């Protein structure tokens, strides 16, 4: 079963624009992670934000976490054609939820960045 | 290159058959996870092994089984295959017991087609 759900399911933007993807989850978490997947390839870890953090940056990536709303957002600034991929949020269940230690992934946002 | 190796990359077989997918985790990683990715179900957690012991089961069918060997490589066995088993099967590894302390490293997947 899905823990996280990304929104939108698909996003198409022009190069240079910012892309924002959202993730909502259902139960309490220890951390939330974002992964990227190029078509038909393995997933690659982008960033991890812990439940006691509100915002985290890594290069052109900015992740926010609102545990009161059980939601997270991933912002990619100044997007490039090479950012075209699917982006997934993943959560590991904390107390009272999920399977501890096992990441549960959402269905992903398919991002298309047009040159 | 994540350091996780999966074989075979592609596999075509017939309904009713049995296949074995193999995964070599990153050097030093004790945890191995198996995921199934299909268009309709998304990325589904199947099973987790840590240092040879099964730690958690997800949406794994009874026709599927897995094991982790003393050298830490893992195999996923799929039997009595059905058309709906066609999917991309990913193996991921991490050094710790769970994802709480860090990321999962994914292999490139094994694409199974059941005809």
B34 contact residues in A (CB cutoff 8 A): none
Query: pLDDT tens for residues B60-69?
Result: 999 999 999 9
Instruction: Enumerate the β-bridge partners of residue B34.
Output: B47, B91
Determine contact: B105 vs chain A, CB below 8 A. yes
pLDDT by residue (tens digit) across A65-89?
999 999 999 999 999 999 999 999 9
pLDDT of residue A5: 78
Q: What is the pLDDT of residue A52?
A: 93
Record: contact A40-B109, CB cut-off 8 A: yes
H/E stretch holding A86 reads strand A85-93
pLDDT, position A16:
97
Min Cα distance B109 → chain A (Å) is 6
pLDDT at A1: 45
Q: How confident is the model at residue A3, as a pLDDT? A: 61
Q: Tell me what pLDDT residue B22 has.
A: 98
Q: Say yes or no to pLDDT of B10 above 90.
A: yes
- Say if the Cβ atoms of B100 and A92 lie within 8 Å: yes
Q: How many CB pairs under 8 A join A and B?
A: 73
Q: What is the DSSP letter of B103?
A: -
B-chain residues near A40 (CB < 8 A): 88, 109, 111
* Paired tokens of A98: 């999920």
Provide the CA A72 distance to its chain's centre, in angstroms: 7
Closest-CA residue of B relative to A105 is B43
> Which residue of chain A has the CA closest to B104?
A45
The residue ranking higher by pLDDT, B96 or A10, is A10
pLDDT score of B71 more than 60? yes
Least confident of A7-11, A48-52, A103-107, B13-17: A103-107
pLDDT tens track for A102-115: 788 888 999 999 99
Task: Kindly report the average pLDDT of chain B as a whole number.
Answer: 92
Please report which residue ranges of chain A form alpha helices under DSSP H: none
C-alpha closest to that of B23 among B64, B68, B73, B67: B73
Q: CA–CA separation, A115 vs A109, rounded Å?
A: 19
> Tell me, what's the pLDDT at B58?
87
Which secondary structure element, helix H or strand E, spans residue A24, and what is its range? strand A19-25
Over residues B7-23, the mean pLDDT reads 98
Tell me the per-residue pLDDT of A10-40, one tens digit each, with 9 for 90 and over.
999 999 999 999 999 988 888 899 999 999 8
Q: Give the per-residue pLDDT at A96.
A: 31
In Å, how far is A15's CA from the nearest CA of chain B?
26
Q: Residue B78 is inside which H or E element, if any?
A: strand B74-78
Question: Which residue in the set B31, B56, B106 is minimally distant from A99, CB to CB?
Answer: B56
Mean pLDDT of A85-100: 66
Alpha-carbon distance of B64 to A32, in angstroms, equals 29
For residue A8, give how far its alpha carbon lies from the nearest alpha carbon of chain B (Å).
15
Closest listed residue to residue A99, CA positions, set A36, A30, A43:
A30
Buried b / exposed e along A48-77 (16+ C-beta atoms within 10 A): bbeeeeeebeeeebbbbbeeeebbbbbbbe
CA distance B101 to chain A (A): 9
Length of chain A: 115
Q: Do A44 and B2 touch (CB under 8 A)?
A: yes
Residue A95 has a pLDDT of: 32
Cβ-contact B37, B112 below 8 angstroms: no
Point out the residue among B90, B102, B103 whose CB comes nearest to the CB of A42.
B90
pLDDT of residue B55: 87
């Amino acid at each position: 079963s899905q823990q996280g759900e990304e929104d939108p399911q698909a996003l198409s933007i022009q190069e240079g624009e910012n892309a924002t993807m959202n993730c909502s989850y259902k139960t309490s978490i220890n951390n939330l992670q974002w992964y990227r997947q190029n078509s038909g390839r393995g997933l690659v870890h982008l960033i991890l934000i812990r439940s006691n953090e509100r915002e985290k940056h890594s290069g052109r990536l900015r992740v926010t976490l609102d545990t009161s709303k059980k939601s997270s957002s991933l912002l990619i600034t100044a997007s490039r054609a090479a950012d075209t991929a699917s982006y997934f949020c993943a959560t590991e269940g904390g107390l009272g939820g999920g399977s501890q230690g096992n990441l549960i992934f959402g269905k992903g946002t398919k991002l298309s960045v047009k040159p | 290159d994540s350091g996780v190796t999966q074989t075979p990359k592609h596999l075509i077989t017939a309904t009713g058959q049995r296949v074995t997918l193999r995964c070599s985790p990153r050097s030093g990683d004790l945890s191995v996870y198996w995921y199934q990715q299909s268009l309709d179900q998304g990325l589904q957690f199947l099973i987790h092994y840590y240092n040879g012991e099964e730690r958690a089961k997800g949406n794994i069918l009874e026709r599927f089984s897995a094991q982790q060997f003393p050298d830490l490589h893992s195999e996923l066995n799929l039997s009595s295959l059905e058309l709906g088993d066609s999917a991309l099967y990913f193996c991921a590894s991490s050094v710790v017991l769970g994802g709480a302390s860090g990321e999962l490293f994914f292999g490139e997947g094994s694409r199974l087609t059941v005809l």
